[in-house]
Amino acid sequence: MPPEPKLTKTRNIGIIAHIDAGKTTVTERVLFYSGRVHKMGEVHNGEATMDWMLEERERGITITSAVTSCDWQGHAINIIDTPGHVDFTIEVERSLRVLDGAIGIFCAVGGVEPQSETVWHQADRYKVPKIAFINKLDRVGADFFKAILMIRDRLGAVPLVLQIPWGIEDDLNGVIDLVKMKGILWEEETLGAEFNEVPIPAEMLEEALKHREHLLETLADKDDLIMEKYLSEEKMEIKEIKQAIRNATINLELVPIFCGAALRNKGIQPLLDGIVDYLPSPLDIPPIVGHIPSSEKEESRPAEIKGPFSALVFKVIMDQGRKMTYLRVYSGTAKMGDSVYNPGKDINEKLSRLLKMHSNKRERINSASAGDIVAAMGLKLATTGDTLCSKEKPILLEPIQFNEPVISMAVEPKKVGDNDKLLDSLGKLSDEDPTFKFKIDEETGQTVISGMGELHLEIIAGRLKREFFVETNQGKPQVVYRETVTKTVEHEEFFDREIAGQQHYAGVKIETSPLPRGSGNRFVDRCKNPDLAEDCLQAIKQGIAEGEAGGVLAGYPVLDVQTCLLGVRIKETSDVMAFKVAATMAFKNACQGAAPLLLEPIMKTEVRIPEEFTGDVISDFNARHGKITQITSTGTVQILTGSVPLSKMFGYSTALRSASQGRGTFTMQFSHYDKA
């Protein structure tokens, strides 16, 4: 069967990078030159199409990943512009999960910055083919080749240079295309919409030939046809070179490198050509694999419009109080009004409306098929990571992995009567963002919100006020601690009580022992009693899980503990409830005697500072009980990598700014839990 022409001409791509590398600016140019918008919005004016939230426009940063689409050379390109700030990594994670290709954008001055590294490795984990665009070549201090070395050294990628800059900084004229061996100059009058291909100027020819030679040499290693022609010095067709680059990119062997200056409208059209020429269509990537619900049998779903329907929910947003669900369709077709099956929750839901999104604007469509990224209305219970499929041919796709929140603070409404409204609004926000959680602390009665960093929680408080009209007071953030045990202890617990005139009895003997950090909790059944029924065993497991939810020191969840069931005592009055209660009590009492210990979150932190401030910053870092594991220097910038307890990092951004005259930056992400 010939491949679907629609699928071969579809590209689902994401734009990933460190904060301020120019992702949104590049996306604006892509939309302008492809005719999707008729005016370029600028981030610094707060007018970027893709930054539609008020918070994004005020701060000049992307907070939520926005979906749009455009056409280029007869190809439909779906684009997701993702945030670059570490607090919003979940937005990148869930976007990469459903994309077929990505564009990594790097600043020619900063090169590979900490967050670019994080998102690049996230893309590696999902095996997403990538191309790179080195932006801001017009800035003072721009260094194209240094950025390429950093891509090789820091990201472990094999860069394939397809373009070199023609001039640099203020003298940036255009780029030299090494595949076509032409110079490209953009017209200032048409805001870069028109450009001319010209012969390479004499002063650049030698350098261009040297890089072209290196390009063909690298390709010859990956492609037999190119190798043959390269060795016999035959002329190579542009078409053959492009095909070889495409194959190597899709096989994750190479990363094609483009360059330009998005703000000065240079370099975008060749990048669009690169998306079409080198990034995969839904047919070029391996079929998505899931398993049949209620069995472990694996099944793959190739991208076929006429196949059974399957899609993954990758984002949920509240839009004017109504729930909008973003889907990536992997196979089959769904029409507006169709009923779809959610195998994870075992429910049917109706697609009351299907929408094609352009940032926060929408266009109604009648159906969505394999390869499409669309939004749906009417799915009341679907959450991020859920699978939707046809009831006749169900499949359960692997859900999306989320990081746990690391920072918490107490919130309370300013008006006494707003408490229910606050809880309702927090519920809607946590549906949207799986890394944002809230709970009511049973002991203090406080409403505690938890997220990925101070900025994350600040934005949540801003959205509560703006979108939900709930003004709040915030308390100092609380760190989310954990507990563990340090000794192996055996304990037997009996539950023997009369409740509502009925006797309940159970005896449970367990052993708790510590596991290495990061292992999680484990349950091992070593009970040899043949009379123990399956439902009683499940009740014991449940009782232990309840014990693990709140430890004995301060009620924090218990981590890295192995619980072994050694034996049980059974009478005719034994039942499920008695076993569950006995197991919880046994676990709590065993932990009490196993020298329990408080664990605190340790953050992997990277600080970038000019050389002259290194001493002050290190001594401040040490005062916060931090451990520096590595100091590297790139030019005049020192990069300190280390780990530090989260509890000591509140207000660090202010301290770092004052220690480095405002020139230091830092990123931190959760690493592990360790002894407090």
Whole-angstrom distance, CA of residue 276 vs CA of residue 70: 12
Cα Rg, the chain, nearest whole Å: 28
pLDDT at residue 2, as a whole number: 47
pLDDT at residue 51, as a whole number: 47
Token reading at 419: 């408490």
pLDDT at residue 602, as a whole number: 87
- 593 burial class (0-12, 13-18, 19+ CB within 10 angstroms)? middle
pLDDT at residue 195, as a whole number: 82
Residues 6+ apart with CB under 8 A from 330: 282, 287, 288, 301, 303, 310, 311, 312, 370, 397
Do β-strands 482-484 and 597-610 pair in parallel, antiparallel, or remain unpaired? Answer: antiparallel
Spans in the chain with pLDDT lower than 70: 1-5, 19-20, 37-66, 83-91, 114-115, 320-321, 359-360, 403-404, 406, 442-444, 476-478, 635-636, 653-654, 662-663
